[in-house]
Structure 1
């Protein structure tokens, strides 16, 4: 089809849409016999069958968690025996029903029932729009518009369980062109969305590639493959160098001299190297225990009534691997001088999360100047490292898949969370390169990952643009 023909087709669709996209007030009072604006309630069945599943056997259950609010699809229907049917499993669904979650409407968990789920049972947490005088897909796209989402958010009731009522959804006004025009507009929406989804799929592949590249950089860094080893450079340049064995001996001397713990000083034990890869030339295996001269120390617990004023404090949601909230954006807590002196962070401190979901357990950061003089909460630990260890090297090692796996290998499980303790940190095996090599590794990792972060920012920006384009398509179709 030529550009001119495509444009003519587009104009025909736009003209057909424009003939019916008028202000509701104008339509209601225009005196025309045909009303171009209606409501969901007027164009859908007033009720759907609420008798739930059959009396025996299994049934397919669709609840709110079954819906992917990004894809706007039912992605995880559940097969349940009748005797385990939840009390909310009441609504008998038909192909083409539009499901609108009534809880947290800002998340816009909506979907259309596909043919393979005809006859499934839906949760009463959905309001079901069953088309009577319109196309199901027209309703489906109507509930995805920003106007609909914002209107529902204005009608939310309840704080702990924010939700709208069926009558709120049914009263929402929508433009109602003739069914043939609805079909034309739906076809155009889906054509544009297909293009957008192809671009979004490409962006997701870029995201996955960036994640794999980041992991590969960290793995190479911790295996001596990212930069020339100090042994190689020394041999090439005809000079001596301090191997990791000699560096470790110097670190242990510093550790003994700075020992301030209780009881008799204990030398750190070496890891079992039979299960570890042979280190690169000039490297050695040790444990984090050998690198730590102070700590690990658990953070401070203070009553929630003390929060909101006083000293800045680092909390569990204030950092992720590779990101931390600036000190001026942290929460604050009313702490006395002794507490501040005991738990105040210093530049170079290693902070490790000790209680969290398994996916986030063990996240860590090295304190930079932008976090001083914050305190740190009880769900994390702080350790100070010997001068022969670059804290940033330990940080990137614990960010690597291998390092984090070793750190969390002894995690203890509780309800919805896991934990590690000070001994888990101490006994974590650490591949130790010479100090000069540590510095080069850190510099090269930072250089490469800065490029990754730049690309991630571009991808995020493009995702946001795709979201705006999606809404722009819907706005044009449903503008009144």
Structure 2
């Protein structure tokens, strides 16, 4: 073994780009509009089995602008967006000559065992190297260049096959075990949702109501309304006093903001489920909240220490986790909490990227980023159990169809207005407490089982990565001195690539001559690749051969002179996004 390279002496390191062919692109304008094809985008890939499981059928007349890459049998598709999610798949015979999104790097090995490359791409070593070069905050992505510049250890061709055979032998039982664990995990999710459904349809406490005759939820809602009105009148009185003082102070500070009264939503008959218990009623989440807002839309200046700053990544396992959070200064915090001030007993819900993770605010001082929404429940907490609202929102989120119900393209965002309109079922406080007691008891058991399953899944993934790590260090199978030398293999690859490129060049020369076209403009690139889609500057740059100066000049001209191209700042991804409407 060579300590420097950590691979056997008979192996060599190579760039991925040196052992692969460039993928072929199609031109939708040359295709018959009614021809059908299977479209492989990120949603088509199962990142547990690493297979293409849900391709979409399109005709070229309705094809997405990103449907451009022709895939071949034995290709590997590697998502360049959020590489750590491992949206990677091996292309089987079924998908030969189908079309993949430009959101993938299409890896096409030449004279190299494709499965060997596939398993290396799945290894943490490869993923971590690529991910370290991703750019963007909530929408980290890499370019094709980054992917194909990665190093890969190359053993002799015969040894590649022995390694693949051994990997598949070892992970076969592992995958079977994982499939069973994930089936149980899925069944627990179904049980959890069924339990919540039973609770919020009143079935869980049907016998309890017969024995206890609880108060009407309408009376409870009226108490909340009265308290809210009283609070508003008090705030209005204080505002009038502050306004008078402000006028006397020669208006050197900003004008005090007038408090806003939140009107209660009156549900119509056709909006009410008549199957709920008679003592129950409906209210919107907005009716029960003093305020529903989100964190700052601008990235603050971070500090080494100070006040904790929380984003979507810090809300998981039903709590706020401060272990890996960022920090801001006390001064910045004081400015941010003027608009969004999380206090003990309030509710948090993640609204961008990973949607619907919930946590009740602990007794801790912190500020929020835009990816987390804050539901302030000061008034409602006087009359309701906070965990009732928590479970109500949890039940709502579990029933969401992200593609159908959540707005946004690749990056989904749960809008505050939609959150305010969430319908909450109300029952008496005594029945709330009984339901929460039953849910806490039964769901804690489910949580424990799920945690054990998750632990086993993590162990299985660790074992998988251990197998891959040994495989690509040359420790999984023996080397054979009779195998063709790797240097000879690389020479053959180089010659084969040269032949391939020469053949392509000859085909291009033999193609019917067309009238000389003017140089491709930036508008051509946008129309061919991003029509009706949001895109970033880096994505635009990847799709054209224009110089930086040409791109910059033409981009500014298009923005200034036309209504078709627009730009906006995406505070979630911290990038400028462009949109083009033909």
Question: TM-score range with shorter-chain normalisation?
Answer: 0.5 to 0.7
Tell me the TM-score normalised to structure 2 length.
0.58
Pair 1:457 & 2:440 matched: no
Quote the Cα distance in structure 2 between the aligned partners of 1:43 and 1:356. Answer: 35
Q: Contact (CA 8 Å) 1:285, 1:431: kept in 2 or not?
A: yes
Report the CA distance shift for 1:195/1:436 in structure 2 as closer, same or farther (over 3 A).
same
Q: How does 1:77-96 map to 2 (within 5 A)?
A: 81=60, 89=68, 93-96=71-74
Matched, 1:323 2:319: yes
Structure 1 equivalent of residue 432 of structure 2:
438
Question: Counterpart of 2:387?
Answer: 392
Residue in structure 2 matched with residue 348 of structure 1 by the alignment: 345
Q: Paired residue for 1:208?
A: 186
Partner SS state of residue 177, structure 2: helix
Contact 1:356 1:417 in 2 (8 A): yes
Q: 1:454 and 1:467 mapped to 2: Cα distance?
A: 20
Q: Deviations over 1:242-267 (max 9, x none)?
A: 45455455555545544435599999
Gaps of 5+ in 1: 1-21, 31-35, 236-240
How far is the alpha carbon of 1:477 from its aligned partner? 4.0
- Deviation digits for residues 253-299 of structure 1 (CA, Å, limit 9, x no counterpart): 54554443559999956533553234436x2314258974x722545
Counterpart mapping for 1:330-341 below 5 A: 331-332=327-328, 334-335=331-332, 340=337
Q: Deviations over 1:349-397 (max 9, x none)?
A: 34567x657x837x6554333xx33345675442323422212112212
Q: Greater CA deviation, 40-49 or 182-191?
A: 40-49
Tell me if the contact between 1:229 and 1:437 (Cα under 8 Å) persists in the aligned partners.
no
Find the counterpart in structure 1 of residue 167 from structure 2: 189
How far has the Cα of 1:345 moved from its partner? Answer: 3.2
The equivalent residue for 1:37 is: 11
- Summarize the Cα distance change of 1:453–1:295 in structure 2 as closer, same or farther, 3 Å threshold: same
TM-score, normalised relative to structure 1:
0.68
Greater mean deviation of Cα atoms: 443-452 or 335-344? 335-344
Match of 1:118 in 2: 96
In structure 2, what is the Cα distance between the partners aligned to 1:242 and 1:117?
Answer: 61
Query: Do residues 287 (structure 1) and 283 (structure 2) align?
Result: yes
Separation in structure 2 between the aligned mates of residue 392 and residue 247 of structure 1, nearest angstrom = 16
- CA distance 1:166–1:420, shift in 2 (3 Å): closer
TM-superposed CA distance for 1:418, in Å, is 4.8
Shift of 1:209: 1.5
Superposed displacement of residue 184, structure 1: 5.0
Asked if structure 2 preserves the Cα contact closer than 8 Å seen for 1:230 and 1:434, the reply is no
Identify the match of residue 366 of structure 2 among 347, 351, 374: 374
C-alpha distance 271-167 of structure 1, shift in aligned 2 (>3 A): closer
Query: Is the Cα–Cα contact under 8 Å of residues 308 and 322 in structure 2 kept in the other structure?
Result: no
Maintained 8 Å contact 1:312/1:373: yes
1:296 lines up with 2:275 in the alignment:
no
Q: Which runs of 5+ in 2 are unaligned?
A: 238-259, 475-582
3-state DSSP class of the match of 2:378? strand
Distance 1:219 1:110, change over 3 A: closer
SS of the equivalent of 1:393 reads helix
SS of aligned partner of 1:189: helix
Say whether the 8 Å CA contact 2:319–2:360 is kept in structure 1. no
Separation in 1, partners of 2:127, 2:422: 49
Q: Is the 8 A contact 1:273 1:285 kept in 2?
A: no
Out of 147, 156, 162, the position equivalent to 1:176 is 156
Using a 3 Å threshold, how does the CA distance of structure 1 residues 412 and 290 change in structure 2: closer, same or farther?
Answer: closer
- Alignment pair present for 1:470 and 2:464: yes
* Pair 120,252 (structure 1): closer, same or farther in 2 beyond 3 Å: closer
Name the CA distance, whole Å, in 2 between partners of 1:331 and 1:418.
25
Partner of 2:480: none
Measured after TM superposition, the shift of residue 469 of structure 1 is 1.9
Per-residue CA deviations over 1:401-430 (Å, capped at 9, x if unaligned) read 39977xx9xx995775452439x73x7654
Determine the structure 2 residue equivalent to 1:419.
415
CA deviation digits over 1:159-184, x for unaligned, max 9? 87535557745x63322263xx6545
> Shift of residue 211 of structure 1?
1.4
Cα shift readout 1:193-234 (whole Å, capped 9, x = no counterpart): 232222121122122122112212222222333346654334
Distance between the aligned counterparts of 1:412 and 1:110, measured in 2? 25
> Conserved in 2, the CA contact under 8 Å of 1:349 and 1:366?
yes
Corresponding residue number in structure 1 for 2:204: 226
In structure 2, the partner of 1:7 is: none
Query: Superposed, which structure 2 residues align to 1:46-61 within 5 Å?
Result: 47=21, 50=24, 52=26, 55-57=30-32, 58=35
Contact 1:56 1:82 in 2 (8 A): no
- Counterpart CA distance in 2 for 1:249 and 1:328 is 43
- Structure 1 residues 88 and 403, CA gap change in structure 2 (3 angstroms): closer
How far apart in 1 are the matches of 2:71 and 2:406? 43
- Asked if the contact 1:215/1:401 (under 8 Å) is kept, the reply is no
CA distance in structure 2 between the aligned counterparts of 1:109 and 1:428, rounded to whole angstroms: 32
Indicate the SS of the match to 1:384. coil
- CA distance in structure 1 between the aligned counterparts of 2:450 and 2:8, rounded to whole angstroms: 51
Residue in 2 aligned with 1:276? 273
Cα pair distance change 1:80/1:229, threshold 3 Å: same
